Amino acid sequence: MKILGIDPGTGRVGWGIVSHEKGVDTFVECGCFETKTNSELPQRLLKIHDFLQNLIKVHQPEALAVESLFFEKNAKTAIDVAAARGVILLAGEQAHIPVFQYTPLQVKSSLTGYGKAEKSQVEFMVGKILHLKEKIKPDDAADAVAIALTHAFRVR
């Protein structure tokens, strides 16, 4: 099963693909899609949607795992990220892919066993689980791979 993990945002959308076959998780690919900061929100959302539709078409994942929103200090940022999440969820539904949502606490717990783990601990575990020689960069892509792994652990 190919799992597409998404770390949502309006400026940067982290994505990561993990293959989960017979209890073995394998890193496939990851990256970070960026929109122009001077673009209006509707334009950014359209670009995110188009990018995801293409990504799904190319990789044909069987599951989409998306990070749920957590409390954001800046209300405008939270609303914009919620809009981006909506576009991401829509792309999954349009492609008829089952969509799963995980909180940051669930991601940290599934990878480290501790829901308040530091980002560096999560990144370390992603590398260890997937037998990676180098740290995944940027952070948004690493987070997306962690989200995909969280779903892989849930389906075992």
Catalytic residue among 25, 80, 123, 140: 140
Print the domain residue range for 42: 2-154
Q: What is the pTM of this model?
A: 0.95
What is the domain-level CATH number for residue 69? 3.30.420.10
Q: Using CA atoms, how far apart are residues 62 and 45, in angstroms rounded to an integer?
A: 23
Question: Does residue 25 have an active-site annotation?
Answer: no
Q: Beta strand 2-7 with 24-34: parallel, antiparallel or unpaired?
A: unpaired
Report the Cα 88 to chain-centroid distance in Å: 10
Catalytic residue among 25, 67, 80, 123: 67
Question: For the chain, how many structural domains are there in total?
Answer: 1
Question: Does residue 140 have an active-site annotation?
Answer: yes
**DSSP states of 94-143 as a string?**
HTT--EEEE-HHHHHHHHHS-TT--HHHHHHHHHHHHT-SS--SSHHHHH
Question: Does residue 7 have an active-site annotation?
Answer: yes
How confident is the model at residue 84, as a pLDDT? 96
pLDDT tens-place values along the chain, 156 residues long: 999 999 999 999 999 999 999 989 999 999 999 999 999 999 999 999 999 999 999 999 999 999 997 666 777 788 899 999 999 999 999 999 999 999 999 999 999 999 999 999 999 999 999 999 999 999 999 999 999 999 999 987
SS3 38: coil
How confident is the model at residue 7, as a pLDDT? 97
